[in-house]
Amino acid sequence: MTDETQWRAGFACLVGRPNAGKSTLTNALVGDKVAITSSKPQTTRHTIRGIVTREHQQLVLVDTPGLHKPRTLLGERLNDLVRETLLEVDVIGFCMPADQRIGPGDTYIAKDLAELQRAKRVPVVAIATKADAVDRERLAEHLIAIDQLGDWAAIVPCSAVRGDQVDDVLAVLGGYLPPSPAPLYPVDQVSDEDDEKMIAELVREAALEGVRDELPHSLAVVVEELVPREGRPDDDPMLDVRVNVFVERDSQKAIIIGRGGSRLREVGTTARVGIEELLGQKVFLDLHVKVAKDWQRDPKQLQRLGF
């Protein structure tokens, strides 16, 4: 008979092609915003750990960039990051959105996961995301197609937006966690991201909204400075946050700034709300847009921008 007070704790990785709903599901499972979301593919650029703690169970979610056929050095590095992550987790959740047919991208990932299962015996749970976007008949067709795609430990449909069956996803993934003498992180912690990374991600999320399809891949954000404003009263502090937004061409810089700076002001206003919520204090956000020509293909610039 098992000890009911025994902790189970470990790592789960959500994978899937770009824009499969991985970041939205991560946020829904955690119950807090730890990963930025966007309708644009390839929004996630690095693994993000969201921490879900329930009674005697802690699931550390690793939200990875979407696996895809890379066209740049950045794309190759993002794929390598996903594969490295897969070797270190206890269970994998393979996200396949219900509002899209199973396609070559899903088949490509399923083949990768089958090889991993043979090599490391990591259980893979198939997750039919965006179940709210289709009717019951279409969802049933999608679940059958998922079943035919591979040998899964389980298949779970869910809607992260509506919260439907998110607890079922958590229960299934949590069932594959190993015993642990204690939780891996403090029980009140929801992410291991530092403030600078989260600030950069919030700025990038705001900048991605409403822009053309070619721009998201060319956008990188770096926090240059994060310092308390001098002379502020102790009960009303303010942080000065200086952020550089990098694009690859002058034409993209013009898109981000907008006519008379209107677009950049919108980005700053939206991002500041999220940053103030994150940090719990007032923020003065100073945004600058710079051109780093073809940075996605330049190893030195990739390193400088944190890739």
Query: What is the tens place of the pLDDT at every residue in 201-224?
Result: 888 888 887 665 545 567 788 888
Other beta carbons within 10 angstroms of residue 52's beta carbon come to 19
Return the structure tokens found at 131.
């179940």
Residue 123 annotated as part of some ligand binding site? no
Query: Over pLDDT 70: what percentage of the chain?
Result: 81
The token pair that represents 135 in the structure block:
């009717």
More confident residue, 297 or 83: 297
239, 220, 226, 242: which is closest to 294 by C-alpha? Answer: 220
**175 marked ligand binding residue:** no
Q: Helices in 152-305 by DSSP H: which ranges? A: 166-174, 195-208, 250-257, 262-279, 299-304
Q: What is the mean pLDDT of the chain?
A: 83
Predicted pLDDT at 39: 47
Question: Measured between alpha carbons, how far is 40 from 218 in angstroms, rounded to an integer?
Answer: 12
Please give the average per-residue pLDDT across 150-177, as a whole number: 95
Cα 92 to chain centroid distance, Å, stands at: 15
Split at pLDDT 50, 70, 90, the class of 1 is very low
**131 marked as binding residue:** yes
Residue 17, annotated as binding a ligand: yes
Q: What is the pLDDT of residue 251?
A: 87
Q: Which sequence spans correspond to the domains of the chain? A: 8-176, 195-305
- Position 284 scores a pLDDT of 94
Q: How far apart are CA 218 and CA 299, in angstroms?
A: 15
Q: Is 63 annotated as a binding residue?
A: yes
**pLDDT per position as a tens digit, 44-102:** 445 667 899 988 899 988 866 555 555 666 666 666 666 666 777 899 999 999 999 99
Residue 226 pLDDT more than 90? no
* Residue 169: per-residue pLDDT: 96
Query: Measured between alpha carbons, how far is 205 from 195 in angstroms, rounded to an integer?
Result: 15
pLDDT given for residue 80 in this prediction = 67
In this structure, whether the domain defined by 195-305 belongs to CATH 3.30.300.20 is answered with yes
64 is in an annotated binding site: yes
Contacts of 179 (CB under 8 A, 6+ apart): 6, 7, 8
Phi, psi at residue 302, to the nearest 5°?
A: -60, -45
User: pLDDT value at position 158?
Assistant: 97
Q: Return the pLDDT at 43.
A: 46
Q: Which residues of 292-301 are buried (b: 16+ CB within 10 A; e: fewer)?
A: beebbebeeb
Which residue bears the tokens 């083949």? 111
In b/e form, how buried is each residue of 207-227, taking b as 16+ CB within 10 angstroms?
bbeebeeebbbbbbbbbeebe
63-77, 97-111, 138-152: the lowest-pLDDT one: 63-77
Any binding-site annotation on 65?
A: yes
Give yes or no for residue 286 having a pLDDT over 90.
Answer: yes
Please give the average per-residue pLDDT across 3-28, as a whole number: 84
Cα–Cα distance, 25 to 214 (Å, whole number): 25
Give the predicted TM-score (pTM) of the model: 0.63
Which of 2-16, 30-44, 70-84, 235-249 bottoms out in mean pLDDT, i.e. has the lowest?
30-44
Judge whether 246 and 291 are in contact, CB under 8 Å: yes
Is 152's pLDDT higher than 50?
A: yes
The answer to whether 278 is annotated as binding is no
- pLDDT recorded at residue 32: 77
190-205 burial: b if 16+ Cβ within 10 Å, else e? bbebeebbbbbbbbbb
State the CB neighbour count (10 A cutoff) for residue 264: 18
Residue 284: name the closest of 268, 270, 304 by CA. Answer: 268
Residue 132 annotated as part of some ligand binding site: yes
The Cα–Cα gap between 15 and 20 comes to 9
Architecture of domain 8-176: 3-Layer(aba) Sandwich (3.40)
Which pLDDT value is given to residue 44? 45
| Cα–Cα nearest to 53, from 143, 200, 185 | 185
Handedness of CA 29, 34, 40, 45 (dihedral sign): negative
Residues 244, 246: Cα–Cα separation, whole Å:
6
Q: Which pLDDT value is given to residue 179?
A: 94
Specify the pLDDT at position 167. 95
6-19 as b/e: b if 16+ CB within 10 A? ebbbbbbbbbbbbb
- What are the C-alpha distances in Å from 255 to residues 215, 222, 225, 287? 9, 19, 24, 14
More confident residue, 111 or 82: 111
